[in-house]
Amino acid sequence: MSTVSTTETPATPLSESAYTLLRDRIVFLEIAPGQPVNEASIAAELGIGRTPVREALKRLEADHLVVSYPRRGTFASNVDLSELNDLAEIRRKLEPVAARRAAAGQGGDFRAQIEETIASLDAERLQLDRATLLRTDTEVHRLIYASSGNGHLVETLMRLDDLVTRIWGTVLDRLNDITDNVAEHRALLQAVLDGDPDLAERLAEEHVDHFTSSVQSALSR
């Protein structure tokens, strides 16, 4: 899947690589909340200088995924569970818009990727561990956003979904089952392929509601 930029100014290829690597490690909690981000180790891992890494960190700070302190360094931001409802309020409005636009264009340039994703969900969804299911959910959301064809919508929803994914990852072990939540994407992706904007819009809204209620239930335990 093509990486979708979340800045208004073009990123250099090197800073884009650093941004993508760090974003996903933070989103999927491989870099834990509050853990320092080591510029030198990331630069060495990617074989690049520190300047592109610093550029990536500036973008991540704008995304609320890291925080920087003078003379202390940069750290993965804490996960604020109290933000769930505020994030859900916005996603409930915008996710259906993205799904509707994606369906109106039947997936556009991403149609083949949508078909591949549906086949993958059919073949593997019951055999995936929770961490992989979490990644699958995120990849599907990013695919639908990209298929919407609206760069501003993509940018906004990517940032929101990254924050929500961190919340979900934090409570993942408290959830009884998430396969149904991820499986909902199959119907949504099929609606996109079928060019059914009304159905895609409704399914996207229902998915956000189901996700939010599942996490709220986990938090109340």
Per residue, what are the HEC states of 67-97? EEECCCEEEECCCCHHHHHHHHHHHHHHHHH
What pLDDT digit, counting tens, does each position of 108-118 carry? 999 999 999 99
Name the one residue in this structure whose structure tokens are 């039947």: 106
pLDDT at residue 125, rounded to an integer: 60
Question: What beta strand segments (E) does the chain contain?
Answer: 66-69, 73-76
Per the CB < 8 A criterion, the answer to whether 99 and 153 are in contact is: no
- Going by pLDDT thresholds of 50, 70 and 90, the confidence category of residue 9 is very low
Dihedrals φ, ψ of 75, to 5°? -135, 150
Tokens matching residue 115? 């078909």
Taking the complete model, does pTM exceed 0.85, yes or no?
yes
Query: 54: buried, middle or exposed (CB in 10 Å: 19+, 13-18, 0-12)?
Result: middle
Q: Please give the Cα distance from 184 to 181 (Å, whole number).
A: 5
What pLDDT digit, counting tens, does each position of 123-174 carry? 766 566 778 888 888 999 999 999 999 999 999 999 999 999 999 999 888 8
pLDDT at residue 11, rounded to an integer: 62
pLDDT at residue 22, rounded to an integer: 97
Q: Please give the Cα distance from 53 to 76 (Å, whole number).
A: 14
pLDDT at residue 60, rounded to an integer: 97
pLDDT at residue 1, rounded to an integer: 41
Q: Is the pLDDT of residue 193 over 80?
A: yes
Least confident range of 20-24, 66-70, 77-81, 121-125:
121-125
Q: Is the pLDDT of residue 2 over 60?
A: no
